[in-house]
Amino acid sequence: MGIKETSSGGSGLKRQLIEGSHRQQKPSFHFSFKVLLLLCIVVIILCCILSSSSRPWWESFPLQEHYEKFFNQPNQDNLTLRFWAYPTHRVKTNEILQIKESPTERPTRPTVPPTVPPTVPPTVPPTGIQYHQAYARNYHFIMDNEEVCKTTKPFLVLMVPVAPHDVAARDAIRQTWGKDRKVQGEVVFTLFMLGYSGRADAGQVQEKVKQENLQHHDLIQSDFMDTYLNLTIKTMVIMEWLATRCPTAAYGMKVDSDMFLNIDNLVIMLQKPGIPKKEYLTGMLMWNRPVLRSKNSKWYVPVEMYPRNTYPTYTLGMGYIFSNDLPGKFVEVSKSIKPFNIEDAYIGMCMEKLGLAPTSPPNPSQFKAYITKYNRCEFSKVITYILGSAEELVKYWTDLKKPGQPC
């Protein structure tokens, strides 16, 4: 709207002054407009240049695969494991499950050098569904001791999954049930399975792990991220190692690092005439166990990962024993089983898919879970017990092995 005219001359004078100032500003306005137009053209050209290279930059970002698979929802049921990150039990940013692709999927993609652990920028929160492949042969051993089974044929190989930084647990085992190479006249090896550390000091942890292995020659490390939710990967990599590096062993055992293991009683059990040498899996059996759907549970499994309401019969993950023909079969059959994060139940699924079932041990009472208090007589009779610390293991073992009858 224009300025309203009135009968007074003051309004006319005001309009003349305004119009005069507009006429004086026209050249300046035209110049400013030209400069602004030129700047717009420059900005448009820069945007075009950047947009042509933005896709390769985004593809180099470590989490691109996570979001790409989240939005595209590829059909990889046989190769991918979905994890849901809820506020009540969210994985730490530097512990996001890593994707390790098979060489045939993206042959031109640069790989992470074995000596450098994969990292995740701390600025990106681990929201939504996280993916990784659980098939053991998608991973690679970056630290190995495969020669241990080349010179000697072991009767039993104890495979202990343990966090890279948990030196105390490994040292306690080396002082106790993992110390002897000969038990009840049989050759027994104890080896520790590690993944990459997800801690902030991962580089220092990795260097210490290397030095530790040079001293003890009992560490095996693979290039998956070592987290609780990745225990299924860790277990399947254990099976892969036994199948490819130690096929001559008679038996294997997956045993947690917080366990008391009466190794003498275990070997005596396996020496019994009736113990099968093929297709044998035993331990503390779990029947008709319900799948926990509460998001607040440590063992929560969503329907999308495992639709059934109960698990097949399986052996509790604290420690189970198997004939050494099974690891290779587990690895092979796992290609056709959608993985989930309850590793011992997953082994039960592998057994079911193979048309097999776990076997109850000769004396089920020897496989114990938690204890109320230490009793020397009791510990002399069992095979397994879950402990609270490495210090407890050394203390109880020392007491059990002292001179004199335990009962």
Q: Report yes or no on 13 lying in a domain.
A: no
Distance CA 88, CA 45 (A): 47
**pLDDT value for 108:** 33
For the residues 67-75, what does the mean pLDDT come to?
Answer: 33
- In this prediction the pTM is 0.70
Cα-based distances in Å from 186 to 148, 149, 381: 15, 14, 20
Asked if residue 315 belongs to a domain, the reply is: yes
Please give the pLDDT value at position 36. 72
What pLDDT was estimated at residue 154? 97
Q: Is the confidence at residue 350, as pLDDT, over 70?
A: yes
Across the range 260-265, mean pLDDT stands at 98
CA angle 21, 26, 32 (to 5 degrees): 120
How many folded domains does the chain comprise?
1
CATH code, domain with 313 = 3.90.550
Per-residue pLDDT of 4-25, as tens digits, reads 333 334 333 333 333 444 444 4
For the cut 60, the answer to whether the pLDDT of residue 403 exceeds it is yes
Q: Is residue 41 part of a domain?
A: no
Q: Taking residues 302-331, report their average pLDDT.
A: 97
DSSP secondary structure string for all residues of 282-306: ESSEE-SPBPP--TTSTT---TTT-
- Top pLDDT among 141 and 121 is at 141
Residue 119 lies in a domain: no
Q: What is the pLDDT of residue 46?
A: 62
Q: What percent of the chain stands above pLDDT 90?
A: 62
For the four alpha carbons of 286, 294, 77 and 341, in that order, the dihedral sign comes to: negative
Q: Is residue 113 part of a domain?
A: no
Give 346's pLDDT tier (boundaries 50, 70, 90).
very high
Q: Give residue 214's pLDDT.
A: 97
Q: What are phi and psi of 64, to 5 degrees?
A: -55, -40
Q: Domain for residue 375, yes or no?
A: no
Whether residue 393 is contained in a domain is answered as no
Assigned domain for 209 exists: yes
Domain holding 149, by residue range, is: 137-361
Do 206 and 164 contact (CB within 8 A), yes or no?
yes
